[in-house]
């Protein structure tokens, strides 16, 4: 795993019920992990803080469960924002 | 029910993004005017991502207060006192003894003296000053608006603040209504106030990711969230027999009050909680669903609230839901949090008095999940015998008032 991947996975892992998902895989679907809307807002905050990036997100119009199918999709999107920064 | 147990409204006062008096507020609501605009109050607004709010414009506190008084009054208390004075003037009531002792002051606020708090934090943390203004604490305390009204207007009965976020004012008015109805007090000045458009508060709202960038479009397709507002509204409540005896003009009757807690999610709306609050208000007012023609909705313009509120209206009203006029005045005045319920109850009472429903502006077209009549974009003539005003707060706290046309 790259640094971004392991950091993103760790941040997502904080928001899901660990007992159901002892290990998060990149192929895991966000919907299956049971992320609620407040979880998503907190997760996005953690990602922004961790990588010093801005993620455009409005809870009324964005739905992370439909925009990002899997954990791997989130990693890819964060990687892009991080690359853009450097 | 005899006259002693009926509670009527004899005075209204407001300060709003649509004007500084009830007359200006109501004239603009009826015309569907938007009170939203660029943020000017937050000193460092150029750094904010959020650019739009519903501010009370051109408010000059020196028009209402002596300069020496202002060191004791946060903007949130200034609004409260201005609204209360207007309501008391309209009621043409004088709080001499012993009425003063039997008059309550119950004022909702979501967050209290945010301007004072922000200013104080700026000095301490940013400017590294060692001193803050001497009256910082009594200016920012949540009960300051209630205390200031009691002091400025000479009201010596029960006085306190009610805090339930976006439902604060509705809880305050509801409690005042029950206290008057039970005979515990003879009169109440009740309402809500908020002045939360500060840099720090806006940052907090930005972090919630629920604000619309441009406009508040309740129940509409493509709605993008809420817009923060500010202002205050106050009402004078008294028993019908007292109001009659002194020949007061009666503006409407408070009929019922319902409250509930979701005991579920911190921010997500809950169908059950909303339903129980509306049913509680109807039952308390001995009203049937068919008696209601108008709902002043909580209608924040968020994706979640508007769907849940629509479903709750279906659940409470059944087939009658399709016949209701439902509008959200937040489309014009934004969401004034702890003041919202009072501003909206004033709109509801005036809609009933003048038989005109204020519109939901900014409505772009139907959302399939919001299938009621939201009075889109233009006011509508409608005879209203009874109406509900809904408030549903973060924290899952719900409050609903039922009002009746006085006859």
Torsion of CA B347, B350, B352, B357, to 10 degrees: -60
Sorted by where each begins, the domain ranges of chain B are 7-245, 257-402
Residue A38 has its nearest CB partner, among B211, B223, B267, at B267
Q: Specify the residue for token string 């992320």.
A: A35
Which CATH superfamily does the domain covering A3-85 fall into?
ACP-like (1.10.1200.10)
Q: What is the phi/psi pair of residue A53, to 5°?
A: -125, 165
Which chain A residue has its CA at the smallest distance from B305's CA?
A60
Q: A44 in contact with B at a CB cutoff of 8 Å?
A: yes
What ipTM does the predicted assembly reach? 0.80
> pLDDT per residue over A42-64, tens digit each?
888 999 999 999 888 888 888 76
Selecting among B166, B196, B216, B370, the annotated active-site residue is B166
Q: If DSSP codes are grouped into helix, strand and coil, which group holds residue B293? A: coil
Q: How many CB atoms are closer than 10 A to CB B126?
A: 8
Q: How many CB atoms are closer than 10 A to CB B223?
A: 27
Judged by CB atoms closer than 8 Å, whether chains meet at A59 and B268 is answered as no
Give yes or no for a contact between B333 and B227, defined as CB atoms under 8 angstroms apart.
no
Q: What is the DSSP string of B388-402?
A: EEEEEETTTEEEEEE
Give yes or no for a contact between B235 and B342, defined as CB atoms under 8 angstroms apart.
yes
Sorted by where each begins, the domain ranges of chain A are 3-85
Residue window 24-43, chain A: list those with CB within 8 Å of chain B: 36-38, 41
- At A63 the pLDDT is 74
Sign of the Cα pseudo-torsion (B111, B362, B317, B349, in order) = positive
- At B365 the pLDDT is 98
Give yes or no for a contact between A74 and A12, defined as CB atoms under 8 angstroms apart.
yes
CATH code assigned to B257-402: 3.40.47.10
Q: Which of B180, B195, B8 is nearest to B83 (CA)?
A: B195
Judged by CB atoms closer than 8 Å, whether chains meet at A59 and B265 is answered as no
**Catalytic site includes residue B178:** no
As beta bridge partners, residue B237 has B9, B188
pLDDT band at A18 (very low <50, low <70, confident <90, very high): low
**Catalytic site includes residue B166:** yes
- At A70 the pLDDT is 87
- Give me the tens of pLDDT residue by residue for chain B, a chain 407 residues long: 555 589 999 999 999 999 999 999 999 999 999 999 999 998 666 789 999 999 999 999 999 999 999 999 999 999 999 999 999 999 999 999 999 999 999 999 999 999 999 999 999 999 999 999 999 999 999 999 999 999 999 999 999 999 999 999 999 999 999 999 999 999 999 999 999 999 999 999 999 999 999 999 999 999 999 999 999 999 999 999 999 999 999 999 999 999 999 999 888 899 999 999 999 999 999 999 999 999 999 999 999 999 999 999 999 999 999 999 999 999 999 999 999 999 999 999 999 999 999 999 999 999 999 999 999 999 999 999 999 999 999 999 999 999 999 98
- At B140 the pLDDT is 97
Q: What is the DSSP string of B346-373?
A: HHHHHHHHHTEEPPBTT--SBBTTB-SB
Return the CA Rg of chain A: 12
Chain A and chain B share a number of CB contacts under 8 A equal to 41
Which residues of B fall within a CB distance of 8 Å from A61?
Answer: 224-225, 303
Residue length of chain B:
407
Judged by CB atoms closer than 8 Å, whether chains meet at B207 and A45 is answered as yes
| Assigned architecture for domain B7-245 | 3-Layer(aba) Sandwich (3.40)
Task: List residues of chain B with CB under 8 Å from any CB of chain A.
Answer: 207-213, 223-225, 265-268, 301-304
> What are the Cα distances from residue B44, in Å, to B58, B132, B197?
19, 20, 12
E strands, B109-211, in order: 159-162, 187-194
The DSSP element (H or E) to which B345 belongs, if any, is helix B340-354
Task: Give how far A29 is from chain B: nearest CA, Å.
Answer: 23
Judged by CB atoms closer than 8 Å, whether chains meet at B210 and A60 is answered as yes
- At A36 the pLDDT is 74
User: B397-404 and B386-393: which strand pairing?
Assistant: antiparallel
Cis peptide before B98 (omega within 30 of 0): yes
Query: Is residue A29 over pLDDT 60?
Result: yes
Reading the block at residue A5, the tokens are: 């991947």
Residue A60 has its nearest CB partner, among B207, B224, B266, at B224
As beta bridge partners, residue B381 has B356
Which residues of A fall within a CB distance of 8 Å from B212?
Answer: 58, 60
Q: A66 in contact with B at a CB cutoff of 8 Å?
A: no
pLDDT band at A20 (very low <50, low <70, confident <90, very high): low
Q: A57 in contact with B at a CB cutoff of 8 Å?
A: yes
Alpha-carbon span B236 to B93, nearest angstrom: 9
**Catalytic site includes residue B153:** no
As beta bridge partners, residue B391 has B399
A37-51 helix and A71-85 helix, angle to the nearest 10 degrees: 30
Alpha-carbon span B119 to B218, nearest angstrom: 33
Judged by CB atoms closer than 8 Å, whether chains meet at B303 and A61 is answered as yes
pLDDT band at A19 (very low <50, low <70, confident <90, very high): low
Alpha-carbon span B98 to B155, nearest angstrom: 10
Give yes or no for a contact between B231 and A69, defined as CB atoms under 8 angstroms apart.
no
Going by the DSSP 8-state scheme, the letter that residue B33 receives in this structure is -
- At B43 the pLDDT is 64
Q: Which of B184, B136, B191, B187 is nearest to B161 (CA)?
A: B191
């Amino acid at each position: 795993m790259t640094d971004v991947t392991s950091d993103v996975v760790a941040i997502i892992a904080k928001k899901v019920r660990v007992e159901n998902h002892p290990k998060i895989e990149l192929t895991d679907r966000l919907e299956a992990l049971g992320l609620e809307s407040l979880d998503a807002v907190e997760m996005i905050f953690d990602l922004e803080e961790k990588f010093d990036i801005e993620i455009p997100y409005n809870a009324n119009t964005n739905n992370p469960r439909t925009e990002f199918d899997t954990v791997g999709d989130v990693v890819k999107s964060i990687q892009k924002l991080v690359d853009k920064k450097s | 029910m005899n006259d002693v147990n009926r509670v009527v409204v004899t005075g209204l006062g407001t300060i709003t993004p649509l004007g500084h008096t009830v007359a200006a507020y109501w004239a603009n609501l009826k015309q569907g005017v938007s009170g939203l605009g660029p943020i000017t109050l937050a000193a460092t607004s150029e750094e904010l991502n959020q650019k739009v709010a519903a501010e009370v414009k051109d408010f000059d506190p020196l028009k209402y207060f002596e300069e020496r008084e202002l060191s004791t009054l946060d903007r949130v208390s200034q609004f409260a006192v201005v609204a209360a004075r207007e309501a008391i003037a309209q009621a043409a009531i004088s709080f001499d003894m012993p009425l003063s002792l039997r008059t309550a002051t119950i004022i909702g606020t979501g967050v209290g003296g945010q301007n004072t708090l922000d200013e104080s934090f700026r000095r301490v943390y940013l400017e590294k000053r060692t001193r803050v203004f001497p009256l910082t604490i009594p200016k920012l305390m949540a009960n300051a608006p209630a205390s200031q009204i009691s002091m400025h207007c000479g009201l010596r009965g029960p006085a306190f603040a009610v805090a339930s976020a976006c439902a604060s004012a509705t809880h305050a008015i509801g409690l005042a209504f029950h206290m008057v109805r039970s005979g515990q007090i003879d009169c109440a000045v009740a309402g809500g106030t908020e002045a939360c458009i500060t840099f720090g508060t806006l940052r907090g709202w930005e972090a919630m990711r629920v604000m619309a960038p441009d406009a508040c479009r309740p129940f509409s397709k493509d709605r993008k969230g809420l817009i923060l507002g500010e202002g205050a509204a106050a009402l004078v409540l008294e028993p019908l027999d007292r109001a009659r005896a002194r020949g007061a003009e009666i503006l409407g009757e408070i009929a019922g009050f319902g409250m509930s807690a979701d005991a579920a999610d911190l921010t997500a709306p809950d169908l059950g909680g909303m339903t129980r609050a509306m049913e509680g208000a109807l039952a308390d007012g001995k009203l049937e669903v068919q008696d209601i023609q108008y709902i002043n909705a909580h209608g924040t313009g968020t994706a979640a609230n508007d769907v849940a509120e629509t479903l709750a209206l279906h659940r409470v009203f059944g087939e009658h839901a399709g016949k209701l006029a439902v509008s959200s005045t937040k489309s014009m005045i934004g969401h004034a949090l702890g003041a919202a319920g009072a501003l909206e109850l004033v709109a509801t009472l005036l809609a009933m008095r003048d038989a005109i429903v204020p519109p939901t502006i900014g409505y772009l077209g139907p959302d399939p999940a919001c299938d009621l009549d939201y009075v889109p974009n233009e006011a509508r003539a409608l005879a209203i015998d009874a109406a509900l005003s809904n408030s549903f707060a973060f924290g899952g706290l719900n409050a609903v008032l039922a009002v009746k046309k006085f006859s």
